[in-house]
Chains A and B, each alone.
Chain A
Amino acid sequence: MNQKFPKGEIKSIQGRSFTIKGDDIDTDRIIPARFLKCVSFSALGEQVFADDRKELKGNHPFDLDHNKGANILIVNDNFGCGSSREHAPQALMRWGIRLIIGESFAEIFFGNCLALGIPCLTASKEEIVKLQNLVEKDNNQIWEFNLKNLSISNQKETVKLILDEGPYNMLYSGKWDATSQLLDEEEKINKTFNNLPYLNNFKKEL
């Protein structure tokens, strides 16, 4: 949990991997609402999947000893749906997750992960099931994710992954932290402001 958070260009990620199975895993499950009562994200790593873990009494993937230190998570369909809480990717990141691969992601969750420098990549259902099986066969194997090739590999087997061009470029160039890029455009922002009828007493002719 004391690894460094993502920074700059993200072109490859190496590490051990594990799976969380199931479709439509919502952000209320990833981090239950009671843990949102905080003014800082710092404690969230401990609380990831709190209720699911309690129910499984130590047998949840996030509790199993052999998953400690793993940084790649393989999930199924529509992962991260529901609430927009960035607390969900924050909790995953602070636990140690640096890359998520699944059949599909909810849009806000995907964007929140990208803003933290955590790539979310997809593959077909068949490929994900294959990857999950491979991962579960041996918890100790090291997986290598390569952004340029859009693939993840354990030396023997390689699974092709999908990522849109926009997020790809942001990760590749290290510009996934949008703030500075947005601030560069001061003049254009002001121009847009001045052209919006509702911010200018509807004076502007169309």
Chain B
Amino acid sequence: MSSRTLYDKVWNFHQVKELSGGSTQLFIGLHLIHEVTSPQAFSALNEKKLGVKFPNLTVATVDHIVPTSNQQRPFSDPLAEEMLATLEKNCKAHGIKFHGIGSNSQGVVHVMAPELGLTQPGMTVACGDSHTSTHGAFGAIAFGIGTSQVRDVLASQSLAMNKLKVRRIWVEGELQKGVYAKDLILHIIRLLGVKGGVGFAYEFAGPAIEKLSMEGRMTICNMAIEGGARCGYINPDETTFEYIKGKEHAPKGKEWDKAISWWKSLASDSKATFDDEIQLDGSSIEPTVTWGITPGQGISIKETIPNPELLPKNEQQIAKDACKYMNLKPDEPIEGQSIDVCFIGSCTNGRLSDLQEASKIVKGNTVAAGIRAFVVPGSQKVAKEAKEKGLDKIFLKAGFEWREPGCSMCLAMNPDKLEGRQISASSSNRNFKGRQGSANGRTLLMSPAMVAAAAINGKVTDVRKFLQK
């Protein structure tokens, strides 16, 4: 009986050759590109007089630099316009499909590709973006790469890679009401640390994971990289197939049945051996918020800011830095911390179900005085579906701004930025110093429903209080 993991099986299918030096030449089945990490890769190709080997296996969109208030071309920021124009030109020159502004399919790359059915089980997916791990939610091996590697994939549809070890993270039970996939992954990163996953792929499994929707699963895998794991994945099952079925690029007709049987065969065997295994109980997790400057610095809404002196020795210095930077005092509760800006969006939590959950909290309420709150749908499709459900009206009525799709204040390469020492409640994935556009701005990561609750109360709030009402 076979005892292989999904990771082993998918890896084997894509192995081109063992390279001298011990790494493997791995075939890449789906290559996604965007405007920030691709221009230099195309320049390098041109310098080396190389072409794109399989133009059909690369798909492009624009997300990081797009303004979210007015997307009229040319963009008012000439640098942003230049980046988009360069991508358009490169795609045209090499015959690469580009999902641009106004195409109805543009969006944050990790939101739009699954939506189009491009991401499927058993693929290798690479993109010049660390959150490529998102696509692992479908049972793919998906990982972020740098620009030199983008060049290599364009030229050869392959990469020199070293095989990772696999750690299975088994989650028992079921998430409680008001606790979402975001809380679970913040909890896991807190437990295992921001570098706990270095050298590993994370397999997320167990009853609590199986009960998650595809969108919840994408949130989990998206943040595997924040725990140091370059890829995270979930074995494909009926939920996966149901999501893919009927999507633009999904297999159709007879192919569909064959696809399903192949996909099923990829799941980790029941006797699969893992390099490491951990177990946790999903039902005991509470809404979780980061208080510091790494995604591993999370606590439950009921906890207080940790006292650095009482933490394990290797966490003390960064905890001290975090307290100082965040201007938070040890032993203060996180609940009730006041905030300035609320951001709902990003490739972690900018999908339809995220906006739906947040809208349930917002409905009939008003954003607290002095708070700037805005919703940035992850893609044009998300925006359209949300509008069809009337979500935009709910948010607008409550005092939120409703924006056009893009990465926006997740990394603030467009005009959406924190100012000065402002502190945000954000559904994104990184709370690094300066991440949201102000060199000394501050970020509290949480689920979109928690961001909505924070917007209404003007301070960090336990979303379960809204759900009881």
Interface residues on A, range: 35 or more
- Measured CB to CB, the nearest residue on chain A to B35 is A39
Q: List chain A positions with a Cβ less than 8 A from chain B.
A: 22-24, 26, 28-29, 32-34, 36-41, 51, 54-55, 77-78, 81-87, 89-90, 104, 106-108, 111-112, 115-116, 164-170, 173, 175, 177-179, 181-183, 185, 188-189, 192-193, 195-199, 201-203, 206
Asked if B65 and A37 make an inter-chain contact with CB atoms under 8 angstroms apart, the answer reads: yes
Contacting residues of chain B (291-336) with chain A, CB-CB under 8 angstroms: 294, 314, 317-318, 321
Q: Which of B172-180, B257-265, B349-357, B366-374 contacts A (4 or more CB under 8 A)?
A: B257-265
Q: Which A residues touch B15, using CB under 8 A?
A: 192
Report whether A82 and B22 are in contact in the complex, using a CB–CB cutoff of 8 Å: no
Closest 9 CB pairs of A and B: A169-B21, A112-B146, A86-B146, A115-B148, A84-B144, A202-B258, A39-B39, A84-B130, A86-B147
Q: Report the bound CA distance from A181 to B122 in whole Å.
A: 26
Cβ of B194 and Cβ of A188 under 8 Å apart? no
CB pair A195 B13 closer than 8 Å: yes
Instruction: Pick out which of these stretches binds chain A: B66-74, B79-87, B339-347, B446-454.
Output: B79-87
| Residues in A whose Cβ lies below 8 Å from that of B158 | 182, 185, 189, 192
Q: What is the size category of the interface that chain B forms with chain A?
A: 35 or more
Bound complex: CA of A34 vs CA of B437, how far in Å?
Answer: 8
- A28-B432, A28-B433 given as contacts; is B120 within 8 A of A84 (CB)? no
Check if A165 sits within 8 Å of B439, measured CB to CB: no
Known contacts A87-B147, A202-B259; 18 further A-B pairs (Cβ under 8 A): A22-B317, A24-B194, A26-B430, A34-B412, A39-B43, A55-B439, A166-B22, A168-B21, A173-B20, A173-B21, A175-B20, A179-B156, A185-B156, A189-B16, A189-B25, A195-B13, A198-B251, A202-B251
Contacts of A183 in B (CB 8 A): 50, 155-156
Query: Given the interface contacts A39-B82, A81-B195, does A28 sit within 8 Å of B13 by beta carbon?
Result: no
Find chain B residues with CB under 8 A from A107 CB: 198-199, 228, 230
CB-CB < 8 A to A41: which residues of B? 40
- Chain B residue, CB-CB nearest to A79: B195
Could you show 5 A-B contacts with beta carbons less than 8 Å apart?
A107-B198, A181-B160, A183-B156, A198-B122, A202-B258
Our count of residue pairs bridging A and B at CB distance below 8 angstroms stands at 218
Task: Give the CA-CA distance A165 to B362 in the complex, in Å.
Answer: 55
Q: Is the CB of A196 within 8 A of B195?
A: no
Tell me how far the C-beta of B298 lies from the nearest C-beta in chain A, rounded to whole angstroms: 14
In the complex with contacts A169-B21, A193-B54, A23-B318 CB distance below 8 A: yes
Which residues from B are CB-within-8-Å of A39? 39-40, 43, 82-83, 86
A residues less than 8 Å from B123 (CB atoms): 198
* Contact among B195, B314, B433 for A106, CB-based, below 8 A: B195
Contact B262 A206 (CB under 8 A): yes
Of residues 245 through 264 on chain B, the ones whose CB sits less than 8 Å from some CB of chain A are: 251, 255, 258-259, 262
Report the minimal beta-carbon distance from B254 to chain A, rounded to whole angstroms: 9
Contacts of B19 in A (CB 8 A): 181
Smallest CB gap from A199: residue in B: B29
Residue of A nearest to B150 (CB): A86
> Are the CB atoms of B432 and A108 closer together than 8 Å?
no
CB distance from B116 to the nearest CB of A (A): 15
**Within 8 Å CB of A22, what residues of B?**
317-318, 321
Separation of A83 and B120 alpha carbons in the complex (Å): 24
Q: Given A22-B318, A115-B146, A169-B22, do A28 and B430 touch, yes or no (CB 8 Å)?
A: yes
A112 to B430, CA, bound (A): 20
Separation of A86 and B228 alpha carbons in the complex (Å): 17
| B20 & A26 in contact (Cβ 8 Å cutoff) | no
Chain A residues positioned under 8 Å from B14 (CB to CB): 192, 196
Q: Residues of B contacting A34 with CB < 8 Å?
A: 412-413, 437
A84-B128, A107-B199 given as contacts; is B36 within 8 A of A36 (CB)? yes
The answer to whether B27 touches A206 (Cβ under 8 A) is no
Is B149 an interface position by the 8 A CB rule? yes
Residue of A nearest to B435 (CB): A28
